[in-house]
């Protein structure tokens, strides 16, 4: 997901420091990751701008193109699933009526009724949740992914209702910076649900999963995207346990901190929200789930994916077709039997 300009800046810097005109000054560079993931996010960017920012459009990419032959190691236990993921990522899965591809029947949840279908998806991914409230292994091995924050919030709100235990609610303190004439009342600021910021009303219960939205202490495992389990609540601190990674099972205290968006041009003012930098993670956006392995994954698509690689990222978070379930709200009728959803792939990025 790194932008092309960032990699090229490192390349030029190494050449200048070392005084050698070879790539990266002749130094060996090791780049890890899944090269089939979504491209860098360009806010309100056109397809051309998004493609242009991709590392894969840099001359340096020719040095690493052999790395694109790697496959998703999480799916190796299911060879068919691995091949299906590769076809989706490379845009070679047979489409119909444009870019719609068929989801295997055994992976789909039928959507005859929207409300019932969501409940069925939740039951498929979180079976017997009432009996596993205090099982961290159970909670952290499951998640439902969706394209937008509105859909994620819908699932999380349903899940926190189902989740047993006493609810703790934390409210944020919001202000519009430099609003000397009070044009924006607090009630209006509280109503804003902004991507990248925690909600004004944060509903939590002991044992529920949460995800960090900021880097707090990377050396001790508190990075943006870290998943944790709530263990206790205090007035200005949340007691939590890191659930994944090398710091798993480590107990930490999360503070309430002031948060702003560095490049926020959504509003004619700068929103400052003092809140715990977390969200519930029963459900997450597909982009937020990148780099994570989730043994039991549900994919909720009320709308089609909208960026290159999104469908592949969602499907590849799981480990097999048996533990991956997909709920699609059909955007159109198809003559062919089965469940279809769009797969966005920019072929100009995939070419050598």
Sketch out the chain's domains with CATH numbers.
4-69 (no CATH), 74-151+284-352 (3.40.50), 164-281 (no CATH)
The alpha carbon of residue 325 and the mean position of all alpha carbons in its chain are separated, in whole angstroms, by 17
Cβ(221)–Cβ(250) under 8 Å? yes
Interval 130-149 mean pLDDT: 91
Instruction: Identify the pLDDT of residue 20.
Output: 93
**Averaged confidence pLDDT in the chain:** 86
pLDDT band at 63 (very low <50, low <70, confident <90, very high): low
Q: Residue ranges of the alpha helices (H) in the chain?
A: 4-18, 47-52, 79-90, 114-125, 136-140, 149-162, 186-190, 310-316, 347-350
Lowest mean pLDDT of 70-74, 77-81, 107-111, name the range: 70-74
Walk across the sheet containing 324-328 and list its strands. Answer: 108-109, 324-328, 296-301, 142-146, 283-285
Q: Pairing relation of β-strands 283-285 and 142-146?
A: parallel
Instruction: Identify the pLDDT of residue 190.
Output: 94
pLDDT band at 352 (very low <50, low <70, confident <90, very high): low
Q: Tell me: pLDDT of 65 over 60.
A: no
pLDDT band at 138 (very low <50, low <70, confident <90, very high): very high
Q: Tell me: pLDDT of 71 over 70.
A: no
Instruction: Identify the pLDDT of residue 40.
Output: 81
Instruction: Identify the pLDDT of residue 119.
Output: 93
Q: Tell me: pLDDT of 125 over 90.
A: yes
Interval 143-148 mean pLDDT: 94
Interval 79-100 mean pLDDT: 86
Instruction: Identify the pLDDT of residue 68.
Output: 43
pTM of the predicted model as reported, rounded to 2 decimal places: 0.87
């Amino acid at each position: 997901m790194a932008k092309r300009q960032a990699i090229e800046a490192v390349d030029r810097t190494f050449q200048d420091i070392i005084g050698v005109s070879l790539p990266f000054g002749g130094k060996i560079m090791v780049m890890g990751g899944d090269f089939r993931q979504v491209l860098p996010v360009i806010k309100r960017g056109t397809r051309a701008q998004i493609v242009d920012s991709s590392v894969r459009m840099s001359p340096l990419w020719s040095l690493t193109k052999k790395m694109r032959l790697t496959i998703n190691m999480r799916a190796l236990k299911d060879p068919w699933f691995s091949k299906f993921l590769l076809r989706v990522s490379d845009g070679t899965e047979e489409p119909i009526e444009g870019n719609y591809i068929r989801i295997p029947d055994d992976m789909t949840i039928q959507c005859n009724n929207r409300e019932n279908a969501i409940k069925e998806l939740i039951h498929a991914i979180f079976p017997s949740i009432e009996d596993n409230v205090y099982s961290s292994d159970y909670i952290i091995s499951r998640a439902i992914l969706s394209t937008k924050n509105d859909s994620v919030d819908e699932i999380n709100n349903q899940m926190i209702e189902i989740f047993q235990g006493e609810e703790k609610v934390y409210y944020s303190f919001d202000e519009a910076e430099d609003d000397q004439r009070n044009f924006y009342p607090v009630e209006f600021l509280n109503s804003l649900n902004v991507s990248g910021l925690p909600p004004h009303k944060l509903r939590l219960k002991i044992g529920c999963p949460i995800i960090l939205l900021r880097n707090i202490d990377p050396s001790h495992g508190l990075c943006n995207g870290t998943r944790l389990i709530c263990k206790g609540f205090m007035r200005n601190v949340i007691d939590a346990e890191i659930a994944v990674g090398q710091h798993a099972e480590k107990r930490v205290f999360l503070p309430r901190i002031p948060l702003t968006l560095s490049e926020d041009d959504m509003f004619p003012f700068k929103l400052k929200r003092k809140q715990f930098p977390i969200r519930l993670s029963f459900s997450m956006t597909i982009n937020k789930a990148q780099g994570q392995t989730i043994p039991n994954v549900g994919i909720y698509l009320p709308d089609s994916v909208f960026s290159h690689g999104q469908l592949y990222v969602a499907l590849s978070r799981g480990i097999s077709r048996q533990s991956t379930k997909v709920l699609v709200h059909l955007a159109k009728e198809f003559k062919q039997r089965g469940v279809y959803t769009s797969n966005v792939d920019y072929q100009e990025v995939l070419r050598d």
